[in-house]
Chains A and B, each alone.
Chain A
Amino acid sequence: NAGVTQTPKFRVLKTGQSMTLLCAQDMNHEYMYWYRQDPGMGLRLIHYSVGEGTTAKGEVPDGYNVSRLKKQNFLLGLESAAPSQTSVYFCASSYRSAVAGGPTGELFFGEGSRLTVL
């Protein structure tokens, strides 16, 4: 049972470099999310998608772009990495929406991608 898989798990970048984090889920979920977690803090929503071909901004979208070309994949891109983007990034997916009221059900998370920007 793969669930939610993130690649890469670790990456070190220099300021100004670009990279893409890949998230893949095999549960046929419509909803996918990218979060970042900084030391001692909870998770903050970067971008999310409510279905193939759709994306929307979360709490902290600046400096990131996303794409959802296939239902099972959600990509997070950093066009010009900055030290402030050093963080652990988590992808999640869900059957119900976590961006609408009512019962949100369960968010399934990947194991995280640790990114360091020097």
Chain B
Amino acid sequence: LAKTTQPISMDSYEGQEVNITCSHNNIATNDYITWYQQFPSQGPRFIIQGYKTKVTNEVASLFIPADRKSSTLSLPRVSLSDTAVYYCLVGDRGAGGFKTIFGAGTRLFVKA
């Protein structure tokens, strides 16, 4: 079974770059890595998805090494509004077939 491991929580200050690393040692060959952000009392929101090397969009970058056993979400110059839970997702192949599984996530707290 694929499994992701992320830090439970992280603290940062406004204006800093934040890097959240996720390990996924058993990632399958054709699986993509996806990150979501969730604010309290809201549904998760898609941030970024990648397969290898580096992906960048208007809000974040995703770094994936060649072995793909981990990935790092990079948030440039965070603000107070980036305080949220961040989930790293990969596929999971169990008895019921393939699923995209949410783990417990990383709670990021941005301080002024």
Interface set of A (CB-CB < 8 Å, partner B):
4, 35, 40-45, 56-59, 90, 92, 98-112
Contacts and interface: CB of A to CB of B under 8 A. Distances in A.
A104 B46 CA distance: 11
Contacts of B34: 104
Nearest to B107: A40
A90 B38 CA distance: 12
B98 A100 contact: yes
A4 B43 CA distance: 10
Contacts of B30: 101-102
B104 interface: yes
Given A92-B43, A110-B43, A99 B104 contact: no
Contacts of B32: 102-104
A43 B43 CA distance: 10
A71 to B, nearest CB: 20
A90 B49 contact: no
Interface residues of B, number: 26
B51 A111 contact: no
A82 B27 CA distance: 36
A105 B49 contact: yes
A98 B101 CA distance: 9
Nearest to A35: B102
B49 A104 contact: yes
A56 B34 CA distance: 23
B99 A99 contact: yes
B31 interface: yes
Contacts of B104: 40-42
Contacts of B105: 42
A101 B102 contact: no
Given A102-B30, A104-B32, A111 B41 contact: yes
B42 interface: yes
A57 B99 CA distance: 10
Contact of B49 (A43, A44, A103): A103
A106 B30 CA distance: 17
A10 B98 CA distance: 31
Interface string B13-33: 000000000000000101110
